[in-house]
Structure 1
């Protein structure tokens, strides 16, 4: 197997590189738009520059590398940025998928496409793969449009991996996550406001990478929900972080989402039912507390 990863510099991309390079039957090709952030960690992994919004470059790289599988993690994922820069969002999240899907179909490459719980309106949850999408943000709309392109591309072998609130540590800088934000704020004795009227099934990045590897290993086809098990509010997550690190939970202020003014709407309640992935792939995510423990090891 030869697996090409887009967005290898991002959180999920980095975890995929770390996992797949350990599989004896896999040759890994890491790609990203910028320079290789993992060069010092994994000098053995082949890196190829790739801008997925450039159709010519997409075709050149895929013809050159001839992977059996492609895991597409590259995307514009900052929800508010997508709302404020809608054309850029569409180019990165939709147009790029058109290029990748058509080229994968032509070259018979199995495509694993990453999607999100934000394709749903958040009125009900947790959700199965059969739930009806109804996005309430431009980000959600772009990711749903990308899903539809993948499903409609003639001759394409595909799997769509939807996920929820991914957290983990990034090598070489990157966005923070709820675990490190809460830990670092409470260590400084800072009071923080945390939302208690949104529900998610938070996903450890290592677990999501494992789910994507299982999809590739099985050359699975169809839609799969990959997340954690536990339906939690951010406030409940913050309480668990405080408990794990033995920090003062009284510094956590419980607020509702209306406290914050944000350009994009968030679905109030999502979360995933992951029985299909458990049954068909053997997917087994860690608990949120186990995820906190792993992040604590990685970011001492």
Structure 2
């Protein structure tokens, strides 16, 4: 039995990674997050509260459990928060990653983002040049470079606009946000000049497990396969739940004042992950149906 350490276990992806690996008898799961364990399922794994920006705490955690694999999904991911709190973003996304790498010799899988790209030439392949336009994106590029320079075997899984049902009722996503507002008869403004390949969280977790099981090294793009605008996504949600799409107003991104710039057109070409890993993400419509079943 191998031990795997999963950081950011209270987050959306972390929740599904913990569930996926703890259901596999080949793995002993150690989950870590900031503060108490907030997952609904509390058994089948060990939970350790830890501040990843505390070097001594990280060293102690790794020395105690000696994981053969680390999936580092813990991060500060809200782009506007990163723009407002650059020191906190740097500490959480860059320094913590370096501490984890320095403390271990484990196979290291780092979760990254489409925001490492400028959005001028998407969808992107793994070997396209990074050029972030936000501090969040820049922090992820710096962390990626630290991973690439590491002594241990590593992989980087970049992803795009992850959605799914979280144990945390305060955590929203494109599906629950559209559904919730339209069910209440509220009008919403939805951007129609940005493009993404939205990613079902279950598919992302499976993609990460494929990387770990195959000890696949290098960069992999793991996302959905449908290139869509948020407005396209909202229309699909309204149609699937038989809600009033006339409540939605199609707008440009510059309608909103946001501290962090968003890349206009990202999305990923996932051919490498499909061919090398056997990655097989669901369509966005299939993803909506999966979310619907979880919500009922």
* Residue 185 (structure 1) aligned with residue 181 (structure 2): yes
In the alignment, what sits opposite 1:51? 51
In the alignment, what sits opposite 2:13? 12
Q: CA deviation at 1:175?
A: 2.2
In the alignment, what sits opposite 2:148? 151
CA distance in 1, matches of 2:216, 2:106: 13
* Residue 115 (structure 1) aligned with residue 116 (structure 2): no
Deviations 1:162-203 (A, max 9, x none): 000001111133420010000111111111110000000000
SS in 1 for 2:139: helix
In the alignment, what sits opposite 1:195? 191
User: Residue 204 of structure 1: which of 200, 205, 212 is its match?
Assistant: 200
Segment of structure 1 superposing worse, 83-92 or 168-177: 168-177
CA distance in 2, matches of 1:215, 1:24: 18
Spell out structure 1 runs of 4+ moving beyond 2 A: 172-175
SS in 2 for 1:97: helix
Q: CA deviation at 1:34?
A: 1.1
Q: What TM-score, normalized to structure 1? A: 0.97
Q: CA deviation at 1:81?
A: 0.5
Trace 1:197-276 onto structure 2 (pairs within 5 A). Answer: 197-276=193-272
CA distance in 2, matches of 1:220, 1:55: 28
In the alignment, what sits opposite 1:283? 279
Q: Is the 8 A contact 1:102 1:156 kept in 2?
A: no
Q: What TM-score, normalized to structure 2? A: 0.98
Trace 1:133-172 onto structure 2 (pairs within 5 A). Answer: 133-153=130-150, 155-172=151-168
Computed over aligned residues only, the root mean square deviation of the Cα atoms, in angstroms, reads 0.9
Q: CA deviation at 1:252?
A: 1.2
Segment of structure 1 superposing worse, 47-56 or 200-209: 47-56
Q: CA deviation at 1:158?
A: 0.4
SS in 1 for 2:276: helix
Unpaired segments of 5 or more residues in structure 2? none
SS in 1 for 2:115: helix
